[in-house]
Structure 1
Amino acid sequence: MRKKIYIGTSLLIAIILIGGMYYSLPYYVSKPGMAKELGPIITVEDGYKDEGNFMLTTVRMGRANIYSYLEAKLRKYEEIYPLEMILYKKETEEEYNARQLHLMASSKLNAIEVAYRKAGLPFDYKYKGIYVVQVVPGMPAEGKLHAGDRIFKVDGREFPSSEKFIEYVGTKHANDKVTLTYSRNKKTETVTLSLQPFKEDPTKIGIGISLVDDKEIIVDPKVKVKTDEIGGPSAGLMFSLEIYNQLTSEDLTKGYQIAGTGTIDEEGIVGPIGGIEQKIVAADKAGAEIFLAPKEKGAKNSNYRAAIKTARDIHTKMKIIPIDTFDEAVDYLDKLPEK
């Protein structure tokens, strides 16, 4: 009898322990990710080689279970975020992941544009349609379209920009129908939806999607950026530096291991990111000697100040350099002595 009770209790405990791994809490946990060399990720056709490396830094972010939550409570450079700090209102995890991938895609386009402009090389854009990043619950698109779908025709018509797409739909009235041609998992599909007023603003009608442009940048020489499933816009600065370095004969790395982070817009302005402390930890572990951090024009709570604090705390020898623009980064690297 005691043996049966012991076995039953052991099974129950095992089930609870295993269940804890799969039961999601209403939190996200982030922790230091990796610092990865950009040379193998970015390839400019017939591009120049470098002696050192530019490095992409990442943060590992995931939905918390009981164990990851407790672990994050105990470890200094792991952070816990309530669900509403990560997901938009009514946004699903699938939509969040799609949003992050498209932020990365936009970051790559900006980085290429900035680098080619700096190198004095021409570029152009080809508009390919729109990507669905969120479907509004209760609207016609719910259950019909998914995050990540690429819409490239409306009523059989292609448009030169997302603005023209929105403008066309805006000429319609409630209960009018539109037929969308879209691709999903490399298959072309069509769906006809009825336009309806938005609950939050009945004066506006639509099918109920949030969207971003799907466009391709045309450059010569060609450039490939392989990011796989890495999401978010925070690699923009480092992408632009690696691309520019391959386009020009002078090696900006000078033999150093250079990590960094920061968004970048079309004008080369570097913006702040989340998880700077964790990226400092990741870069230090990877052997980076220099870290480029967003200065945010000297703001008291800037990424740069947080990076300096973390660097002192972990006793790294890595130099933390404040950066506001792509040009500032290039100027700093130009003046570096050869290693």
Structure 2
Amino acid sequence: MEGVTLAMRKKIYLGSVLLIALLFIGGMYYSLPYYVSKPGMAKELGPIISVEDGYKDEGNFMLTTVRMGRANIYSYLEAKLSKYEELYPLERILYKKETQEEYNARQLHLMAGSKLNAIDVAYRKAGLPVQYKYKGIYVVQVVPGMPAEGKLQAGDRIFKVDGHQFPSSEKFIDYLSRKTAGEQVTFTYLRKNVTKTETLRLQPFKEDPKRVGIGISLVDDKEIIVNPKVKVKTDEIGGPSAGLMFTLEIYNQLTKEDLTKGYQIAGTGTIEVDGTVGPIGGIEQKIVAADKAGAEIFLAPNEKGVKNSNYRAAVKTARDIKTKMKIIPIDTFDDAVNYLEKLPKK
């Protein structure tokens, strides 16, 4: 009887271990309707941005990032317990009916737009001409139930419609808007460096039956032409929040005076083509990342001094983590340049 009891206990024990292991593994792969953001890294921009025959700096400009991912049970609990991790409901991150793949494509195209704006602002500030060459449009989202569903996908670059090329996305949209429901249109596009064609029948939009289309959200694909040439290698970094720091690094390589003055300068903020610096998400996590990387100065979007600005949240976080890093409010690219020009050399 004792032998049977021991055998039964062993089976129960092994079964319990197996069940716990399965629950643990299942918890890792079961996604919750939240995203988790946590401090990422502060990365030097010198190796990322290269202006042909550009000037060198003594210090560094650094972009800051957050790590963002879909929450599972464990990352959700960790975020609840951690002061500098944030939980965002799904609808705060994804557009309505947007897939994860479309979200990733949107972030990469936001980064591409940020790079274009940064180059434009930096070269114009340095007194150098800027030109654009329109190349087509990128698909960033496909609307369910519309003709493009299952045919086109996020990341496709459409460069011809019925054999025609257009000088802007506005002309592309105008061409389709002159057609009627039921008409066929042939799209020539590039997917993973392979040229493809797709003929689709136009259909009215449910929310606006007077308009017809194929059901895509799009952004311009255009090339900026400047001299000297500039390369910006961002790999898989997405989103527009590095715009200000890109602009500073490019401008610094274009001009003889070194704006870094030997300091480690981190920061964040979107950049508009008129030089306006806009707010971003995850400022608290970026302050933590910059402090860990040894940044001495952090440039934060001021949002014209509104109560809940990025700058105020950055100051509060800096105080909480007891960093010596200086937090500087920035509304425009000129604000950043003016501050750095007055900074004493280290």
Q: Normalising TM by the smaller chain, what interval?
A: over 0.9
Equivalence map 1:282-293=2 (5 Å)? 282-293=289-300
Match of 1:234 in 2: 241
Match of 2:19 in 1: 12
Partners of 2:275 and 2:128 lie apart in 1 by: 15
Match of 2:281 in 1: 274
Partners of 1:21 and 1:78 lie apart in 2 by: 18
1:333 aligns with 2:335: no
Match of 2:65 in 1: 58
Higher mean displacement: 71-80 or 199-208 = 199-208
Partners of 2:196 and 2:180 lie apart in 1 by: 24
| SS in structure 2 of the partner of residue 72 of structure 1 | helix
Match of 2:147 in 1: 140
| SS in structure 1 of the partner of residue 339 of structure 2 | helix
Match of 2:29 in 1: 22
Residue by residue, what CA displacement relative to the aligned partner does 1:273-323 show, whole Å, maximum 9, x if unpaired? 111111000000000000000111111111111111000000000000000
Match of 1:100 in 2: 107
Partners of 2:202 and 2:13 lie apart in 1 by: 62
Equivalence map 1:17-96=2 (5 Å)? 17-96=24-103
Residue by residue, what CA displacement relative to the aligned partner does 1:40-96 show, whole Å, maximum 9, x if unpaired? 000000100000000000011000001100000000000001100111111111111
Partners of 1:317 and 1:44 lie apart in 2 by: 32
Partners of 1:26 and 1:177 lie apart in 2 by: 39
Which of 315, 319, 343 matches 1:312?
Answer: 319
Residue by residue, what CA displacement relative to the aligned partner does 1:127-181 show, whole Å, maximum 9, x if unpaired? 0100000000000000000001000000011111000000000111000000000
Q: What amino acid sits opposite 1:177 in the alignment? A: Q
Structure 2 residues without counterparts, runs of 5 or longer: 1-7
Match of 1:301 in 2: 308
Partners of 2:12 and 2:188 lie apart in 1 by: 61
- 1:5 deviates by 2.1
Q: What amino acid sits opposite 2:313 in the alignment? A: A
Which of 117, 121, 136 matches 1:114?
Answer: 121
Partners of 2:284 and 2:11 lie apart in 1 by: 51
Instruction: Quote the sequence identity (%).
Output: 85
Partners of 1:336 and 1:90 lie apart in 2 by: 48
Partners of 1:191 and 1:10 lie apart in 2 by: 53
Q: What amino acid sits opposite 2:238 in the alignment? A: G
| SS in structure 2 of the partner of residue 204 of structure 1 | strand
Q: Which has the larger radius of gyration?
A: 2
Partners of 1:329 and 1:5 lie apart in 2 by: 66
Equivalence map 1:210-249=2 (5 Å)? 210-249=217-256
Partners of 1:223 and 1:329 lie apart in 2 by: 21
- 1:123 deviates by 1.1
Q: What amino acid sits opposite 1:255 in the alignment? A: G
Partners of 1:132 and 1:119 lie apart in 2 by: 33
Partners of 1:275 and 1:111 lie apart in 2 by: 21
Match of 2:202 in 1: 195
1:261 aligns with 2:268: yes
Partners of 2:177 and 2:197 lie apart in 1 by: 20
Which of 133, 148, 158 matches 2:165?
Answer: 158
How many residues align? The count is: 339
- 1:2 deviates by 2.0
